[in-house]
Structure 1
Amino acid sequence: MDGSTQPNETRYLVVCNGEEQYSIWPAGRPLPNGWRSAGPYGTKTECLHHIDQVWTDLRPLSARH
């Protein structure tokens, strides 16, 4: 994080489900069933950038086996 976020800017958490599909979720809200924390906490842009780096195969885990 570069410190340039606005004070009221929503913060997000990178989350992942059992099929290794990634998403972002508003920080501070309970995670939906089946999802876990899987990356950084930050701005929407920062979290989406992280997802772009780690989620290179968009097929669900079950389709990769």
Structure 2
Amino acid sequence: MDDSLVKVLVNHEEQYSLWPAFLDVPAGWTDTGVAGTKQECLSYVKEVWTDMRPLSLRRRMAESAATPS
């Protein structure tokens, strides 16, 4: 089992990714402050990333739903 440390990143679209803890955070991503084993981080992502749609799509869909036909 791989027990190397990873961290959870999030981008401006509220999409999550696991990233090796020893590497710098790439441009466009933010460190969530959550780090641990791959399984620990996957469990966290599963808990918080309940809507896989990008933020921009969710916003457009909400605007469309609020606009009368």
TM-score range (shorter-chain normalised) is 0.7 to 0.9
Q: After TM superposition, which residue ranges in structure 1, 4 or more long, deviate above 6 angstroms?
A: none
Q: Percent identity?
A: 49
| TM-score, length of structure 1 as denominator length | 0.84
Matched pairs, number? 59
Return 5+ residue gaps in structure 1 as ranges.
1-5
Return 5+ residue gaps in structure 2 as ranges.
60-69
Larger Rg over CA atoms: 2
Matched residue of 1:49: which SS? helix
| TM-score, length of structure 2 as denominator length | 0.79
Matched residue of 1:41: which SS? strand
Name the Cα RMSD after superposition.
1.6
